[in-house]
Chains A and B, each alone.
Chain A
Amino acid sequence: MKRRHFLGLMGAAGVSLTTAVTAKASSSADVAGMPNVGGVLFDASRCIGCRKCEAACNQVNDLPKPAKPFDDLTVLDATRRTDAKSYTVVNKYVPKPGENPVFRKIQCNHCMEPACASACFVKAFKKTETGAVVYDPSVCVGCRYCMVACPFNIPAYEYDKALSPRVMKCTLCYPRLLEGKLPGCVEACPKEALQFGKRRELLNIAWDRVTANPDKYVQHVYGEHEMGGTSWLSIAPKPSFAALGMDEGLGTTSAPELTSGALAAVPAVAGIWPVLLTGIYAISKRKDKIAEEEKKAAVEAAIAKASADAEAKLAEELTKAEVANKRRIEVEVKKALEAAAKDSEGGEDA
């Protein structure tokens, strides 16, 4: 698949086009990061597809029992995703026909800058120091923008509940972490394909393992930089992560950065638009006023001229005319005045 690396860069630019605001919402100098954040390292080359992690997850999270039991491995024949009844699923992939299958565990990747948290308009999601991205159903409106926003397609929804549907996703066993226990899946894994620890240390372990076996592993730690980095890290055997259904084109731009440009345009509009619009209004009003005044002045001038002409004519006539004609002349003058006024009005638009 083609890398759409430029997307991330472009997203940050946002709508700065019309507003000339700076693209980045804020400098990262204000962000301390989470140096001791927890995480999990998943090694796909060690996973044997036993589904023990799925079973453990189901049990510790009190999720409903599935139709087929967890030791039924035929489930692996179909590609699945997380849903409202399973926070984690294991899928089977056959990168090269005829060779051994490779398994991948899917669950929330617990982003360092979660798209769900950035997208949520009631702050229902939060990244914690343990590494877990946790969800608070007590404020959730159920708009499902988090599900739209998640680049990994992880959050699921209880579509069958009429009154109290929740977004459902892996919590990294946050309640267990607080008790000092391991996440259910990590504890259950018989092959040490899953390892819990500080993300910083896990990254070192991952890179050591990958570089020590360059023929075996893809030389990349998935989640180190994807979407700004994730607490859940994955390494995979060759040929690629894409062979395990993982999107290699996500880019490194985090979700908050993707929308920061558009968010920065909001106050700019509130600051500039009133000035601009009131200005346009004032200009159009002023133009009306000037047009009005000009019209008035033109009419007055025309009437003045017409009266002067008529008076001159009257004087001339009077010298010749007899008194008996006076009434007739006055009528004529009146007519001339009216005609002149009409002319000047009619000629205004020209």
Chain B
Amino acid sequence: MFNTLQDLMLHNKSLTYVLMAVVLICFIGFWRFLTGREERNRRY
């Protein structure tokens, strides 16, 4: 429980900012996984 909306938002936003960074990094990893074989096929 939080006493003020301000405190609640501080908590939520702080966590969200961290997760945003994690999400962006995961996007890169998943894109590489998704397209990883494209390059190889092309070379064959």
> A–B direct touch, CB within 8 Å, in complex?
yes
Q: Which residues of A contact B (CB under 8 A)?
A: 25-26, 28, 30-34, 112-114, 117-118, 123, 127, 129, 228, 254, 256-257, 260, 263, 266-267, 270-271, 274-275, 278
> Is the pair A278, B20 in contact by a Cβ cutoff of 8 Å?
no
Identify which of residues 5-33 in chain B touch chain A, using a CB-to-CB cut-off of 8 Å. Answer: 5-10, 12-13, 16, 19-20, 23-24, 27, 31
Q: Closest Cβ of chain A: how far from B27's Cβ, in Å?
A: 5
**Residue in contact with B3 in the complex, picked from A32, A114, A275, CB distance below 8 Å:** A32
Cα distance A274–B34 when bound, in Å? 14
Q: Which residues of B contact A (CB under 8 A)?
A: 1-10, 12-13, 16, 19-20, 23-24, 27, 31
> Is the pair B3, A34 in contact by a Cβ cutoff of 8 Å?
yes
With A267-B16, A278-B31 known as contacts, the answer to whether A26 contacts B23 (CB < 8 A) is no
> Is the pair A274, B27 in contact by a Cβ cutoff of 8 Å?
yes
A-B contact count (CB 8 A): 62
Q: Closest Cβ of chain A: how far from B14's Cβ, in Å?
A: 10
> Is the pair A256, B9 in contact by a Cβ cutoff of 8 Å?
yes
Cα distance A330–B13 when bound, in Å? 78
> Is the pair A260, B4 in contact by a Cβ cutoff of 8 Å?
no
**Residue in contact with A270 in the complex, picked from B5, B7, B12, B24, CB distance below 8 Å:** B24
Q: For chain A, what secondary structure do more than half of its interface residues adopt (helix, strand, loop), or is it mixed?
A: helix
Residues of B within 8 A of A112 (CB): 4
> Is the pair A26, B20 in contact by a Cβ cutoff of 8 Å?
no
A-B contact pairs, 30 of them (CB 8 A): A25-B9, A25-B12, A28-B5, A30-B2, A30-B8, A31-B5, A31-B7, A32-B1, A32-B3, A34-B3, A34-B4, A112-B4, A113-B5, A113-B6, A118-B6, A118-B9, A123-B10, A127-B4, A127-B6, A129-B3, A256-B5, A256-B6, A256-B9, A260-B9, A263-B13, A270-B20, A271-B23, A275-B27, A278-B27, A278-B31
> Is the pair B3, A26 in contact by a Cβ cutoff of 8 Å?
no
> Is the pair A31, B24 in contact by a Cβ cutoff of 8 Å?
no
Cα distance A260–B24 when bound, in Å? 22
With A32-B1, A274-B27, A278-B31 known as contacts, the answer to whether A117 contacts B20 (CB < 8 A) is no
> Is the pair A270, B10 in contact by a Cβ cutoff of 8 Å?
no
Q: Closest Cβ of chain B: how far from A62's Cβ, in Å?
A: 29
Residues of B within 8 A of A31 (CB): 1-5, 7-8
Q: Closest Cβ of chain A: how far from B19's Cβ, in Å?
A: 8
**Best-surrounded residue of B1, B9, B10, B12 (most CB of chain A within 10 A):** B9
Residues of A within 8 A of B12 (CB): 25-26
With A267-B16, A271-B23, A274-B24 known as contacts, the answer to whether A113 contacts B4 (CB < 8 A) is yes
Cα distance A182–B23 when bound, in Å? 50
**Best-surrounded residue of A34, A114, A127, A256 (most CB of chain B within 10 A):** A256
Residues of B within 8 A of A267 (CB): 16, 19-20
Residues of A within 8 A of B24 (CB): 270, 274
Residues of A within 8 A of B31 (CB): 278
Cα distance A113–B20 when bound, in Å? 26
Residues of A within 8 A of B3 (CB): 31-34, 127, 129
Residues of B within 8 A of A275 (CB): 27
Cα distance A146–B27 when bound, in Å? 36
